[in-house]
Amino acid sequence: MLIIDESNASYDLLIWALENQKDTIESSKVYIFAKQPQNSFTPPTVLSSSVGFAQIFYPFSPNSELIRLAQEKNMKIALGILEKAKKICLNHGIKAETFTNVGDPKDLIRKIIQERNINLIVTSDQQSLKKCTQNTDCSLLVVKKRLRKD
């Protein structure tokens, strides 16, 4: 399973995994997950919505319509991210299952590992996922980005 966001680094990680973990990928299912943020109110008169590092702030008094619009926007962004990832997989001859959900990433990932019997997560961020894989049979493959020397 790969967990992606809108950053180019996520797509680079996906391509790296498809090219360097081909044997593992071909013998198992590939899942790609994009987390949707929970809407938060900070301060009470500002509705914030974020995906990865991108944040949108609505300087209005939050009401149910505004919250619904923010949630729809988050869903569209997450689905667009997953669609791009799915195309990258298809270009490498791999059919991937994509999904998204709202909530705390640690809780979501732990639940996904258990429900879908995930045995490997490929990531570039060890800290946020290390606790999610504790007490499971899921391995964590951390891919470090190489620095180019010019």
> pLDDT for 22-79, tens place per residue?
888 888 889 999 877 665 544 444 445 555 555 555 555 567 777 788 888 888 999 9
For the chain, which residues make up each domain, given as ranges?
2-36+60-142
Look at domain 2-36+60-142 and name its CATH class: alpha beta
**Are the C-beta atoms of 41 and 47 separated by less than 8 Å?**
yes
pLDDT at 88: 95
pLDDT at 54: 55
pLDDT-based confidence at residue 126 (cuts at 50, 70, 90): low
What percentage of residues in the chain have a pLDDT greater than 90?
Answer: 23
Question: What is the reported pTM?
Answer: 0.75
Q: For the chain, how far is it from start to end, CA to CA, in angstroms?
A: 33
pLDDT-based confidence at residue 142 (cuts at 50, 70, 90): confident
| Alpha-helical regions (H) of the chain | 8-20, 22-26, 64-91, 105-115, 126-130
Burial of 77 (0-12, 13-18, 19+ CB in 10 A): buried
66 three-class SS: helix
The Cα 33–Cα 121 span in angstroms is: 11
